[in-house]
Structure 1
Amino acid sequence: MDKYKIILFDLDGTISDPKVGITKSVQYSLKKMGIVEGDFDKLKCFIGPPLQVSFVEYYDFDEKDTQKAIHFYRQRFKEKGMFENKLYSNIPLLLKSLKEQKHTLVVATSKPTVFSEQILKYFNIDQYFDLIVGSNLDGTRTSKTDIIQYILDKYKGHQPDDFIMIGDRKHDIIGAKNMGIDSIGVTYGYGSLEEISQSDPTYIVQTVEQVKDLLMGRKV
């Protein structure tokens, strides 16, 4: 599997488990918007997709209320939410092994780039990534298709076959498919096996160890 020279990683639900920080920040935002939501599990749907999509899809906010909700979300997320987070087991080992094999590693996330950089630095894994690409704070470049397009444009000397996207939600797989690159759907994050299967990734794996085996050319 050494054919993949540039490996794109989603952040939330793929590199780290951000459930506590994201759900508490969404809860805080909703309360500011006059909505009391005590069930954190109900808010897991916010992990992965852009906030611009989730507040509309799950709470039927219009554009104005969505922007207000995102503002409130970021108030709490910047202060403490981004650090209420934990790495999935063996992620540092996976990243170290891939770098030793001379792969180029890139983060491709719908989370704003500025927050993503701080989270990776907090976990001391920013050293493994050549590029960190997220959304912009003004709400642009939030779709995974746009994010992957931006990354491909940064590596114009490479062919689509050189890239692979790893993620836990359908948005990761669909974005990769839209840009003509392969993908790995992981089931240890927040997308169900059904969601991932229906989006038709190139590969489906259940653990971080299987991601490593696949990318290092071992049988999964």
Structure 2
Amino acid sequence: MAEYKIILFDLDGTLSDPKEGITKSVQYALAKMGMVEPDTDRLETFIGPPLQVSFAEYYGFDEKESIRAIDFYRERFKEKGMFENVLYPNISFLLEALEESGFVLVVATSKPTVFAEELIKYFELEKYFQLIVGSDLDGTRSSKTEIIQYILDKYTDYKHSNFVMIGDRKHDIIGAKNIGIDSIGVTYGYGSQEEIRGAEPTYIVSSVDHLIGLLLGSRV
């Protein structure tokens, strides 16, 4: 295994399970746009990718419609949806063990940075992360490729081989590949086995415990 020094974590579907908050906020936005979606399970595909991508891909919204839908989404998300969210088991233990072992930990999410920062504080995880990087509220810097490159530009004293991106969707793996760093695909989140395997990450893990074993080995 490579000698990683800086570990990039996706947020939704990797550190926490945000299903209730995200799907209900998307459901709210669709209703405001005149579309009824009674089954929130069908909205799980919105967990992970940038919202503008998902509204366009799954509901055919053009750019203006996507912007309106995102504004509606944020109405509910800021008030309630952000906190309809739970950490996956053993995440706090993993982060504490990684920090104690000398790793630099960074959040790399397509969620707007302001929301990601608030969530990390809500979960009381801010002491573990040196940096939290997400998208801008205006929709810029929303792709994982841009987010990962932004992070690498902050750590120019390190080689690409010192970084690894951990995430549950193909966008995390593709972003890492585009920048030239390793990746770990987790299958306990919202990307299917087929999606993760198809993106060809450096490693695949099926649980947080498996991730602990891969990153820390005999150190825990």
Q: Same fold (TM over 0.5)?
A: yes
What's the secondary structure of 1:29's corresponding residue?
A: helix
Give the match for residue 145 of structure 2.
145
- The AA in structure 2 aligned to 1:169 is R
1:77 and 2:68 are equivalent in the alignment: no
User: Aligned ranges for residues 19-58 of structure 1 at < 5 Å?
Assistant: 19-58=19-58
What's the secondary structure of 1:151's corresponding residue?
A: helix
Q: Structure 1 residue 217: deviation in Å?
A: 3.3
- Contact kept, 8 Å, 1:164 with 1:182, in 2: the verdict is yes
* Separation in 2, partners of 1:156, 1:15: 26
What's the secondary structure of 1:156's corresponding residue?
A: coil
- Contact kept, 8 Å, 2:2 with 2:162, in 1: the verdict is no
- The AA in structure 1 aligned to 2:109 is T
Q: Flag the 1:93–1:2 CA change in 2: closer, same or farther, 3 A.
A: farther
- Contact kept, 8 Å, 1:2 with 1:217, in 2: the verdict is no
* Separation in 2, partners of 1:118, 1:212: 25
- Contact kept, 8 Å, 2:2 with 2:161, in 1: the verdict is no
Give the match for residue 187 of structure 1.
187
* Separation in 2, partners of 1:104, 1:164: 11
Q: Structure 1 residue 193: deviation in Å?
A: 0.6
Q: Structure 1 residue 126: deviation in Å?
A: 1.2
- The AA in structure 2 aligned to 1:183 is S
* Separation in 1, partners of 2:52, 2:32: 17
- Contact kept, 8 Å, 1:165 with 1:181, in 2: the verdict is yes
Give the match for residue 174 of structure 2.
174
What's the secondary structure of 2:176's corresponding residue?
A: helix
Q: Percent same amino acid at aligned positions?
A: 70
Q: Flag the 1:197–1:2 CA change in 2: closer, same or farther, 3 A.
A: closer
- Contact kept, 8 Å, 2:29 with 2:70, in 1: the verdict is yes
Give a deviation string over 1:165-197, Cα, whole Å, max 9, x none. Answer: 000000000000000000000000000010000
* Separation in 2, partners of 1:85, 1:170: 22
* Separation in 1, partners of 2:182, 2:35: 40
- The AA in structure 2 aligned to 1:160 is H
After TM superposition, the score normalised by the length of structure 1 is 0.98
After TM superposition, the score normalised by the length of structure 2 is 0.98
Give the RMSD, CA atoms, in angstroms.
Answer: 1.1
* Separation in 1, partners of 2:46, 2:2: 34
* Separation in 1, partners of 2:18, 2:45: 12
**Unaligned 5+ residue runs, structure 1?**
none
User: Aligned ranges for residues 91-106 of structure 1 at < 5 Å?
Assistant: 91-106=91-106
- Contact kept, 8 Å, 2:9 with 2:108, in 1: the verdict is yes
- Contact kept, 8 Å, 2:183 with 2:203, in 1: the verdict is yes
Q: Structure 1 residue 127: deviation in Å?
A: 1.0
Q: Flag the 1:204–1:186 CA change in 2: closer, same or farther, 3 A.
A: same
Q: Structure 1 residue 111: deviation in Å?
A: 0.1
- The AA in structure 1 aligned to 2:190 is Y
